[in-house]
Amino acid sequence: MSSGEFDGKVVIVTGAASGLGRATALAFAGAGAKLVVADIDQDALLATAASTTALGSETIAITTNVIDIASCAALIAGARAHFGRIDALCNIAGAFRFDHASNITPEVWDKIFAVNVRGPFFLIQSALPHLIESSGAIVNVASASAFLGHAYLTHYAASKAALVNLTKSLAMEFMHAPVRINAIAPGGINTAMTATPSIPDGIDFQLIGRYTPMRGSSEPEDLTDLVMLLAGPRGKAFHGACLNADRGITAG
C-alpha cells in the first residue's frame, strides 16, 4: 500500500478513541486521508485527533453517541459540511460484555443492539447519498461471534450476526449504485474493551476456552490494512463480503 493511497479522500472512523478505531484512524492518516474521528469518549477522541494531525492528516473530531440517531446524523452532516465530501465510513464503535442468558435485561439487550447494529445502520443511512456521489465505501466491523454459537455472549453474537446480514442486505439493495458495502469479522483483539471484561459468577470456563484462538489474539494494527483494503480502490472486487480475520477460530 502506498503512503498516499487515500490522498484527498475523506474517511469517517467511529470508535476512534481507542483500540481498533484509533489504530485505523492512525493508519488512514499515514496513507494521506483527511479524517473525521468519532467516539463518545471526548478526551480520548481529542488525543486520537492530535495524533492523526501530527501525522499530517487534516482531522476533525466529533463527539458522537451512536445510540442516538440525531448524533449519528450530526456526525455525517458535520463531516460533509467541513470537507464537502465523504469517501469512506468505517463503523468500528462497538459494545461487548459477558452475561448469563438468564440475566440479560431488556436494557442491556437494547444497548448492545443499539451500539452494534442500530448505530451503524443509521450512520449508513445518513452517509449513503454522499458515498454514492463519491463512489465511496462502507466498512462494518462484525466479529467471529457472528458465525458460531458463543456462550455468555448471546446478545453480542446475535448483534454481530445481524450486522453481517445488514451488510449483505444493503449490498444487494445498492447493487447498481457506485458504492461498496463490506464487513470484516475479527476474532479476539487485544484492546481495553476485551482486556478486562467483567466476568459474571458461575461461568463455565471450559465453554469460554472454546473460543480462545489457538494462534492468539490480534493486535489492532494487524487488522487496519484489511479495513483500508475494503475502504479503498484496491477493494473494488468486494461488495457484500464479510472477511473473517479471526486466526482460525471459525475454520473448524
The set of cell numbers assigned to 100 is 448469563
With contact defined as beta carbons under 8 Å apart, do 91 and 119 qualify? yes
**Topology of domain 10-244, CATH:** Rossmann fold (3.40.50)
Q: Does 247 score more than 90 pLDDT? A: no
Q: In what order do the strands lie in the sheet with 242-245?
A: 59-63, 34-39, 10-14, 88-91, 137-141, 180-186, 242-245
- The answer to whether residue 156 is catalytic is yes
3-state secondary structure of 85: coil
- Region 109-124: what's the mean pLDDT? 98
d(CA 128, CA 231) in angstroms, rounded, equals 14
Q: What residues does each domain of the chain span?
A: 10-244
The conformation of residue 191, written as its DSSP 8-state character, comes to S
Contacts of 88 (CB under 8 A, 6+ apart): 9, 10, 11, 12, 33, 131, 136, 137, 138, 139, 231, 232
pLDDT band with cut points at 50, 70 and 90 for residue 249: confident
Catalytic residue among 96, 121, 156, 174: 156
- Band the pLDDT of 196: cuts 50, 70, 90: low
- pLDDT over 70 percentage in the chain: 95
Mean pLDDT of the chain: 93
Q: Name beta bridge partners: 185.
A: 244
The pLDDT score that the predictor gives to residue 1 is: 43
CB count within 10 Å of CB 65 equals 18
Of 249 and 140, more confident: 140
* Tens-place pLDDT, residues 132-147: 999 999 999 999 999 9
